[in-house]
Structure 1
Amino acid sequence: MNILVVDDNKTVQEKLASLIMSQGHNVDLAINGLDALGKAQQGNYQLFVIDHLMPLMNGVQLTKNLKSNQLSSSVPVFFMTTQGSHSLKELAEFNLFDKVIDKPINEDQFLSILSEFSGSHFDSATLQVNS
């Protein structure tokens, strides 16, 4: 799968990229919502992994934009938050998220959810990180 990771924390980006690549997927990185929108319009992604709180455009705004764009509307969103996943249930946009995980990320939980999205489809022929 081609996966776009959107997080303003470089350490989190690198950790997630490493986990995702360990499962045989390709990873692109975006530092904020605006950066991600540009990449989403050019890329062919099967999953978006999006942080909640970021500068310029937060994860909720980004998800709304992605879901309203014909090219990305059907791509699942794996949403990450430091605010507690229970607090997101109050948002009108909650139904736009396919899965929500609390930060700091539990690696086993992250990989379990990632495998749900990917089924057993792994293409380990080409592993790359693009930033």
Structure 2
Amino acid sequence: MTASILTVDDSASIRQAIKIALSTAGYTVSEAVNGAEGLEKAEAGRFDLIITDLNMPIMDGLTMIQQLRARGKVVGTPIVFLSTESDGDVKAQAKAAGATGWMTKPFDPEQLVRIAQKVLTK
């Protein structure tokens, strides 16, 4: 069965780059444009991995994963941040909120696929 991945980012070009990299590797990719839409889609569907940006309008990625984890909907689902942010304090907040991993933008598509493979095989 193909793994299903939700990508949440306000940048259409980033979502497209993620989708191309992951769908080429055989994954099914769904998209959301902000944390609020990501929250809705994550609660309505079943995803094996969520990749989210941190800084987005309407709802940021940190708030989204805090709400998802608090609601218990995606307890075992890995969540990876893909952000331009690289501050250690922010990474610590993300980890405390339930993030599985962190990648910085701009990203290497091959590295993204390797990280997806790694967290999906755990």
TM-score, length-scaled by structure 1 = 0.83
**Please, which runs of 5 or more residues in structure 1 have no aligned partner?**
120-131
The number of residues matched between the two structures is 118
Q: What residue in structure 1 maps to residue 25 of structure 2?
A: 23
More relative contact order in 1 or in 2 (CA 8 Å, sep 6+)?
Answer: 1
Given that 1:67 and 1:74 are in contact with CA atoms closer than 8 Å, whether structure 2 keeps it comes out as no
What's the RMSD between the two structures over aligned residues? 1.4
**Please, which runs of 5 or more residues in structure 2 have no aligned partner?**
none
Q: What residue in structure 2 maps to residue 60 of structure 1?
A: 62
Note the 1:82-101 alignment, pairs <5 A. Answer: 82-84=84-86, 86-91=88-93, 93-95=94-96, 96-101=98-103
Partner Cα distance (1:37, 1:90) in 2: 21
Deviation at 1:118, TM superposition (A): 2.7
Higher helix share: 2
Secondary structure (helix, strand or coil) at the match of 1:57 reads coil
Runs of 4+ off more than 2 Å: 85-91
Say which one has the larger Rg: 1
**Matching residue within 46, 49, 54 for 1:47:** 49
Alignment-mate amino acid for residue 65 of structure 2: T
